[in-house]
Structure 1
Amino acid sequence: MFLAQTQDTDFKKLFPYFGILIAYAVIFEGILGGIYSYCRRFFRVKSSFELDKLLYRHINTLGIQTLENPHIANLIQRSQQWLYDTLEVFMESVNLVTQVVRSVISGGVIVMFAPTIVPIFLIFKFITFIPERYFNRLSFNWYVDNSEERRKRSWIVGYLSDPRQLQEINIVGAFKYLSQKIIDFYQWYHRGILHIVTKREIVRSLLNILGDIVILVGYSFVFMALMVKRITVGIATFQMSAIDNFSGAVGNLLGSIGVFNDLSPKMTDLIELMQLKPAVPDGTVVLPRLQKPPSIDFKNISFRYPNSDINIFENLDLSIQNGEKIAIVGENGAGKTTLIKLIARLYSIQHGEILINGTNLSGLKIDDWYKNIGILFQDFNGYVSLTARENILLGKPMQPTSEERIIEAAKQADAHEFISRFKHGYDEILSERFKNGTRPSTGQWQKIAIARMFYRDAPLLIFDEPTASIDAVSEYKIFNRIYEFFKNKTVIIVSHRFSTVRNADRIIVLSHGKIIEQGTHNALIKRGGTYANAFTLQAEGYQAEK
């Protein structure tokens, strides 16, 4: 600018300045900009995985009783969506500092020629910030207030995307019904969002018009100075640029503050989740790997599920001796699976105590207890993205893998034969939705899950309806192997098929959370009570089928 205003036309003198501009462009805009861009992407990639890991590890510590709470379930879903917004905190912090520097420098320039403009701009920008904050809060509250309904719809979306769920959905013609539930909700939900957006944009448009007027007021100071020739055209251009920079910088600064304001309630959700403690606190008593099977004593226990007023058990007493093979039978809702969940310490009991070898279960370190038990639930896990081998070795995932023991466990569960027929044998992925994968039948899945329990070989083994989907011949073989293979273990079996429990050391009959009968198969048959009647009915059913 200085050379342009002089009469010197020796453009060679401009070369150093051109050199400085080129160096600036290369170093700051090119190299440093590239480094910044790389660091930003690197930070995002690395942080996304670390944030995922941090979240799922913490969720795992909370326990089933905590995770089944509807409020916690909504909180987790929102936190999973907010998680990556934490990256914006870092990015926006850099932007905030940049805008502060821009605002200070450009504001300082304006103060030198029109000091009254600065407070006018600041007041106006603050006025525009208030409605933005208001509408951000409205949007957030609308989102949070509908968390549960959105979570319900996300489950339905899962149903409509899962081939196994779609089988029944399409056959019964439920697709349109379920799809319409999603459509109806989101049409209503989006109307609420658009209502907020419409109001926001109307207010924003009016404030933008006022903002333009404020800038024109700033320009008028420059034009008046130019008209009376207090400044040159070049200086006028510079001052107008300073006004634009100040307006933009202050607007961006308040925008960054708005982003932080928007992120604040999201971070509050994340902080609340990360500060949650398990509803079932961990114990402090160390339990080593048991060399002998444990005894279990229920002492006058009473239990009801969280958020329920109905007791499943009231003053229940039950003793299971070490090495005893116990079968638990009873009608649906009698409390059989609940009893198993209490042994697994998934829930806290309201009254009484459960003793493991005389030590209160609630006082044991939970991980130590889990190292000594194996449980096959009715809704057992099938790890479809893993191989058949991995699905079995997950019975003892942290121990050195023994191929011999994996095959032996599969044989005991009557699974080795069909696994061997897979194209890739034990290396077969267990889902047709993966390349070269195979989908086992329901009965085959159950055999693989049972094999996992054979491989685990824990001092205490619990089987909840372990053969519900298995053919009668395989069921007979598997139960005989369970009784034989685990003869030096404490074993608890829950089953509706009385033919599978007749060889148990003791059969316990539950009804409405109470033990109404117990004894050996022969003793209960002679008694002629509930067990005998149910056994006879099942036997007659088998005879009729034949």
Structure 2
Amino acid sequence: MQDVYESARSLFEGFVARREMVYIRADIVDVLLSFARNGIAYLYLISRTLEQGLPASEFLLYFSAVGGFTTWVTGILSEMSTLHLQCMELSTIRECLDLPEPFRFEDGEPLEAKPGLTYELRLHNVRFRYPGAQTDTLHYVNLTIHPGEKLAVVGLNGAGKTTLVKLLCGFYDPTEGEVLLNGVDIRKYNRKDYYQLFTAVFQQFSVLETTLAENVTQVFENNEAQLSRAEECIRKAGLSQKLDRLPDGLQTHIGKEVFEDGIELSGGEMQRLMLARALYKGAPIMILDEPTAALDPIAENDLYLKYSDMTSGCTSVYISHRLASTRFCDRIILMASGQIAEEGTHDSLMALNGKYAELYAIQSKYYNEKEGESDEG
């Protein structure tokens, strides 16, 4: 790590030195040109005065005119340089604005999430490569998620789990293949309408510097019905004890940068708050990407016990690298090197005695050893 730091620092210092040298050379050239320009003009005026007896008043007039002209020319050239730099910056912005919109936000077939409707998601021969990458992240994945199914996606870091979910959510379009909703390519739908079908808890999230209720509802000035539902979702997400201890309840401010009376939440509490936000939306498809990463073992187990209740009536996709956390799901797929390596229930995958069983045994041994160390301590 130190070698990498020193190498990066050396490159940066070299760049700064080269840039400063360019500026110094430019300043030297500017001084020399100014000296030559003014010197020629002043020598001419002096020679006129000595040879032709130029009056002092005219000498001062021409002398001032030369100085003023020099100042004007320098100012014009400086403004032209500034204008050129600003045009270059604006051209970058214009290029960005002129880029074609990859998703259909303004047109496309309308899509509305209605109560009672069911949705089947299917990936058909999906291959995906991030822009600028040299290799594919997903390799010809075929997967069907049935309405109401609780699917677990497991695998080691870098296996393609999160990328798979981003394709399902419509954040990216596949490089090759199709993502189908009830048999229709999602690229035909209005993308904003498609997003309304999903509620998600991702590994990266933002907690707003506002009240607890507004963080959940994403609406300012909530009515009684919204507040009641927000409280229900907060308690369902496992924040009942925290809520009961807050003097202002749902109106408690989060964060201290905006409000002096705000509170700071722990990592696990923020993750539960994001879960409450996802529950509040009530979309027919729920995505949970490592929702227990910041939770302690007791809180994690509590979430597992409540998972069926929280996802009742909707399709859910649960992503985790902890294999023991997915036994409550209807089906498990193991991702490896951008492909579905194994698929089935926990019991069937253990009976298969393949990669899933191997990883499960390794993780079980690790957690048992950690528990033993804790007991000894």
Residue 458 of structure 1 aligns to a residue whose secondary structure is coil
Structure 2 CA distance for partners of 1:538 and 1:184, relative to 1, 3 Å: closer
Which of 199, 205, 212 is 2:38 aligned to?
A: 212
Residue 286 of structure 1 aligns to a residue whose secondary structure is coil
Could you say which residue in structure 2 is the equivalent of 1:471?
296
| Shift of residue 539, structure 1, vs aligned partner | 4.7
| Shift of residue 323, structure 1, vs aligned partner | 1.6
Q: Letter of the 1:206 partner, please give it.
A: L
Residue 187 of structure 1 aligns to a residue whose secondary structure is helix
Structure 2 CA distance for partners of 1:296 and 1:306, relative to 1, 3 Å: same
Could you say which residue in structure 1 is the equivalent of 2:72?
249
- Is the counterpart of residue 383 in structure 1 residue 190 in structure 2? no
Q: Letter of the 1:306 partner, please give it.
A: P
Could you say which residue in structure 2 is the equivalent of 1:10?
none
Could you say which residue in structure 2 is the equivalent of 1:313?
138
| Shift of residue 355, structure 1, vs aligned partner | 0.5
Could you say which residue in structure 2 is the equivalent of 1:490?
315
| Shift of residue 357, structure 1, vs aligned partner | 1.6
- Is the counterpart of residue 355 in structure 1 residue 180 in structure 2? yes
Q: Is the 8 A contact 2:253 2:259 kept in 1?
A: no
| Shift of residue 273, structure 1, vs aligned partner | 2.9
- Give the whole-Å Cα distance in 2 for the aligned partners of 1:177 and 1:359: 52
**Cα shift readout 1:427-476 (whole Å, capped 9, x = no counterpart):** 23335897444432222222122122112221111101111221233223
Could you say which residue in structure 2 is the equivalent of 1:92?
none
Return the structure number with greater helix share.
Answer: 1
| Mapping 1:85-234, distance limit 5 Å | 184-217=10-43, 219-220=45-46, 223=49, 227=53
Which of 199, 207, 223 is 1:374 aligned to?
A: 199
Structure 2 CA distance for partners of 1:312 and 1:290, relative to 1, 3 Å: farther
Q: Letter of the 2:207 partner, please give it.
A: Y
Could you say which residue in structure 2 is the equivalent of 1:274?
97
Structure 2 CA distance for partners of 1:186 and 1:513, relative to 1, 3 Å: closer
- Give the whole-Å Cα distance in 2 for the aligned partners of 1:423 and 1:219: 85
| Shift of residue 345, structure 1, vs aligned partner | 2.2
- Give the whole-Å Cα distance in 2 for the aligned partners of 1:521 and 1:179: 45
Which of 276, 280, 287 is 2:111 aligned to?
A: 287
Residue 475 of structure 1 aligns to a residue whose secondary structure is helix
Q: Is the 8 A contact 1:303 1:313 kept in 2?
A: yes
Q: Is the 8 A contact 1:218 1:243 kept in 2?
A: no
**Cα shift readout 1:496-522 (whole Å, capped 9, x = no counterpart):** 333432222222233333334333334
**Cα shift readout 1:346-386 (whole Å, capped 9, x = no counterpart):** 223122211012220122222111111112122x2133644
Structure 2 CA distance for partners of 1:239 and 1:385, relative to 1, 3 Å: same
Structure 2 CA distance for partners of 1:193 and 1:295, relative to 1, 3 Å: same
Which of 263, 267, 277 is 1:442 aligned to?
A: 267
Residue 518 of structure 1 aligns to a residue whose secondary structure is strand
| Shift of residue 301, structure 1, vs aligned partner | 1.8
| Shift of residue 532, structure 1, vs aligned partner | 4.4
- Give the whole-Å Cα distance in 1 for the aligned partners of 2:348 and 2:288: 23
Q: Is the 8 A contact 1:329 1:510 kept in 2?
A: yes
Which of 229, 236, 242 is 1:405 aligned to?
A: 229
Structure 2 CA distance for partners of 1:206 and 1:339, relative to 1, 3 Å: same
| Shift of residue 320, structure 1, vs aligned partner | 1.1
Normalised to the residue count of structure 1, the TM-score between the two structures is: 0.59
Could you say which residue in structure 2 is the equivalent of 1:62?
none
Q: Letter of the 1:464 partner, please give it.
A: D
Which of 500, 508, 512 is 2:325 aligned to?
A: 500
**Cα shift readout 1:298-318 (whole Å, capped 9, x = no counterpart):** 112222333334333333221
Residue 109 of structure 2 aligns to a residue whose secondary structure is coil
- Give the whole-Å Cα distance in 1 for the aligned partners of 2:354 and 2:73: 84
**Cα shift readout 1:186-227 (whole Å, capped 9, x = no counterpart):** 533331122112212221221121122233256458747983
- Give the whole-Å Cα distance in 1 for the aligned partners of 2:356 and 2:201: 24
- Give the whole-Å Cα distance in 1 for the aligned partners of 2:8 and 2:263: 32
- Give the whole-Å Cα distance in 2 for the aligned partners of 1:424 and 1:399: 15
User: How much identity, in percent, do the aligned residues show?
Assistant: 26
| Shift of residue 491, structure 1, vs aligned partner | 0.8
Structure 2 CA distance for partners of 1:312 and 1:209, relative to 1, 3 Å: closer
| Mapping 1:51-70, distance limit 5 Å | none
- Give the whole-Å Cα distance in 1 for the aligned partners of 2:69 and 2:113: 70
Could you say which residue in structure 2 is the equivalent of 1:122?
none
Which of 390, 393, 406 is 2:217 aligned to?
A: 393
Residue 329 of structure 2 aligns to a residue whose secondary structure is coil
Q: Which protein has the larger Cα radius of gyration, Structure 1 or Structure 2?
A: 1
- Give the whole-Å Cα distance in 1 for the aligned partners of 2:85 and 2:257: 43
Could you say which residue in structure 2 is the equivalent of 1:334?
159
Residue 248 of structure 1 aligns to a residue whose secondary structure is helix
Unaligned runs of 5+ in 1: 1-173
Q: Is the 8 A contact 1:388 1:430 kept in 2?
A: no
How many residue pairs get aligned? The number is: 366
- Give the whole-Å Cα distance in 2 for the aligned partners of 1:209 and 1:529: 82
Could you say which residue in structure 2 is the equivalent of 1:421?
245
Structure 2 CA distance for partners of 1:531 and 1:262, relative to 1, 3 Å: closer
Return the structure number with greater strand share.
Answer: 2
Of structures 1 and 2, the one scoring higher in RCO (CA 8 A, sep 6+) is: 2
RMSD: 3.4
Normalised to the residue count of structure 2, the TM-score between the two structures is: 0.82
**Cα shift readout 1:110-148 (whole Å, capped 9, x = no counterpart):** xxxxxxxxxxxxxxxxxxxxxxxxxxxxxxxxxxxxxxx
Q: Is the 8 A contact 2:38 2:66 kept in 1?
A: no
- Is the counterpart of residue 453 in structure 1 residue 262 in structure 2? no
